[in-house]
């Protein structure tokens, strides 16, 4: 069975949790005692039975009727298993949205047919672009409130298309569906009230092709640790791209030491090769340190001291010349904010200020980071797994970025 991670984003109160609750309920993915618990709870509080309660586990979330933390639930499609990540709509919870969305293969953008595109709709979509999520389903919700008319749907459809296009999304990878989550129209079952709808939400989800990591990308094996097992040193790590093969001749960067992969070891024994996502051990002719990356001699990992990248800050602000730590793969290196080139509005993606001295929380910027010592960072479009990084300040992860240009 295929497994797909999907994230739900959109403006607060446009119905993300309700849509997921509906998918779970109609798809019979919710346990009986959960339904009972929620019914009981709703009765106690004299509230309407809310599908959103399937997700909102925390006491205060129910009281305030919003989802604070990214929650995950599992859900079955036609031939797939979905892990659905519900993201919060409030601005201050962007870090939770990113924590969830960073693990997603595709996104569902919920837009209310009544309210249309709002601040958070745009902000979330901008961040999806930054995270490299290409496949979107735009669900125009609350169609019941506009009497299931095609016209309001078409209006949002067109406005959204224009916005997505301006951010550089490939529109062929995006589909649009009208739904009413509260009434269950066109979510799991086809709606008789909207015969003009081309597909249901679940059909649109099932139609998203799964991104498979390309095997023909250059090999990158990231070192996590070195273990001594029965007197032998095993270099453990994960293949991030390409294929690791026994006998491979290459180099560990940033130390630049050439090495030969003598054996590939897992607990069960020897392997002849390892593919992206696999955690294996290597018996190598040289012993690297944690944070190093192995690649083939003809396409070695990029050892860099400068990154030009797009960064979004979620928990703290950053000033020019400030010292931070850049974490990429298993490496963490101190760095200086050498230059802030442009401040980007996370709502529109537009450049709002050139050469600002400071970037605030929930703002994005194009900046140059100068690393105190060399580390391996790839250009995000080349090898995404090593082209994205997290920024740490005072021991806290405060933001994330993607490398657009790297140099040494």
Return residues touching another protein (CB under 8 A): 1-3, 28, 30-34, 41, 55-60, 68-74, 81, 83, 95-96, 98-99, 102, 212-213, 215, 224-225, 227, 229, 234, 236, 238, 265-267, 275-279, 281, 290, 314-315, 327, 330, 385, 388-390, 392, 395-400
Shortest distance (Å) from residue 103 CB to another protein: 8
Shortest distance (Å) from residue 11 CB to another protein: 21
Shortest distance (Å) from residue 83 CB to another protein: 7
Residue among 16 and 265 whose Cβ is closer to another protein: 265
Shortest distance (Å) from residue 404 CB to another protein: 17
Residue among 295 and 399 whose Cβ is closer to another protein: 399
Residue among 59 and 172 whose Cβ is closer to another protein: 59
Residue with tokens 């990540």: 85
Residue among 32 and 298 whose Cβ is closer to another protein: 32
Residue among 189 and 396 whose Cβ is closer to another protein: 396
Shortest distance (Å) from residue 50 CB to another protein: 14
Reduced 3-state DSSP string for the chain: CEEEEEEEEECCCCCHHHHHHHHHHHCCCCCHHHHHHHHHHHHHCCCCCCHHHHCCCCHHHHHHCCCCCCEEEEEECCCEEEEEEECCCCHHHHHHHHHHHCCCCEEEEEEECCCCCCHHHHHHHHHHHHHCCCEEEEEEECHHHHCCCHHHHHHHHHHHHHHHHHHCCCHHHEEEEECECCCCECCCECCCCCCCCCCCHHHHHHCCCCCCCCCCCCCEEEEEEEEEECCEEEEEEEEEECCEECCCEEEEECCCEEEEEEEEEECCEEECEECCCCEEEEEECCCCCCCCEEEECCCCCCEEEEEEEEEEECCCCEECCCEEEEEECCEEEEEEEEEEEEEECCCCCCEEEECCCEECCCCEEEEEEEEEEEEECCCCCCCHHHCEEEEEECCEEEEEEEEEEEEC
Shortest distance (Å) from residue 45 CB to another protein: 11
Shortest distance (Å) from residue 304 CB to another protein: 18
Residue among 151 and 230 whose Cβ is closer to another protein: 230
Contact of 249 with 260, CB cutoff 8 Å? yes
- The backbone torsions φ and ψ at residue 41, rounded to the nearest 5 degrees and listed phi first, read -60, -45
Residue among 15 and 399 whose Cβ is closer to another protein: 399
Shortest distance (Å) from residue 238 CB to another protein: 6
Residue among 86 and 185 whose Cβ is closer to another protein: 86
Shortest distance (Å) from residue 337 CB to another protein: 18
Residue among 277 and 334 whose Cβ is closer to another protein: 277
């Amino acid at each position: 069975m295929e497994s797909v991670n999907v994230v739900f984003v959109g403006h607060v109160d446009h119905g993300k949790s309700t849509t997921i609750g509906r998918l779970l309920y109609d798809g019979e993915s919710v346990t009986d005692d959960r339904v009972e618990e929620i019914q009981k709870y709703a009765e106690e509080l004299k509230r309407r039975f809310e599908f959103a309660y399937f997700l909102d586990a925390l006491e205060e979330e129910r009281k305030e009727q919003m989802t604070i933390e990214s929650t995950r639930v599992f859900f079955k499609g036609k031939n797939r298993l979905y892990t659905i990540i519900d993201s919060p709509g409030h601005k201050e919870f962007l870090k939770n949205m990113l924590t969830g969305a960073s693990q997603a293969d595709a996104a569902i953008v919920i837009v209310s047919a009544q309210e249309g595109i709002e601040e958070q709709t745009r902000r979330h979509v901008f961040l999806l672009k930054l995270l490299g999520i290409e496949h979107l389903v735009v669900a125009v919700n609350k169609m019941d409130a506009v009497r299931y008319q095609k016209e309001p749907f078409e209006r949002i459809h067109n406005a959204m298309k224009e916005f997505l296009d301006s951010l550089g999304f490939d529109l062929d990878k995006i589909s649009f569906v009208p739904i009413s989550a509260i009434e269950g129209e066109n979510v799991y079952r086809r709606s008789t009230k909207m015969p003009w709808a081309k597909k249901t939400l679940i059909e649109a989800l099932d139609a998203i092709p799964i991104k498979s990591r390309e095997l023909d990308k250059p090999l990158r094996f990231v070192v996590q640790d070195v273990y001594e097992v029965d007197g032998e040193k095993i270099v453990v790590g994960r293949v991030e791209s390409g294929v690791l093969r026994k006998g491979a001749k290459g180099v560990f960067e940033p130390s630049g030491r050439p090495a030969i992969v003598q054996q590939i070891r897992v607990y069960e024994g020897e392997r002849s090769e390892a593919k992206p996502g696999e955690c294996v051990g290597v018996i190598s002719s040289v012993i690297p340190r944690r944070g190093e990356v192995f690649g083939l001699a003809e396409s070695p990992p990029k050892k860099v001291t400068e990154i030009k990248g797009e960064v979004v800050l979620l928990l703290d602000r950053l000033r020019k010349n400030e010292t931070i730590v850049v974490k990429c793969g298993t490496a963490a290196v101190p760095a200086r904010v050498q230059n802030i080139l442009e401040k980007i509005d996370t709502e529109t993606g537009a450049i709002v200020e050139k050469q600002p001295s400071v970037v605030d929380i929930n703002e994005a910027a194009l900046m140059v980071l100068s690393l105190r010592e060399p580390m391996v960072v790839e250009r995000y479009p080349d090898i995404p797994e090593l082209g994205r990084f997290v920024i740490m300040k005072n021991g806290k992860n405060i933001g994330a970025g993607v490398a657009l240009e790297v140099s040494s």
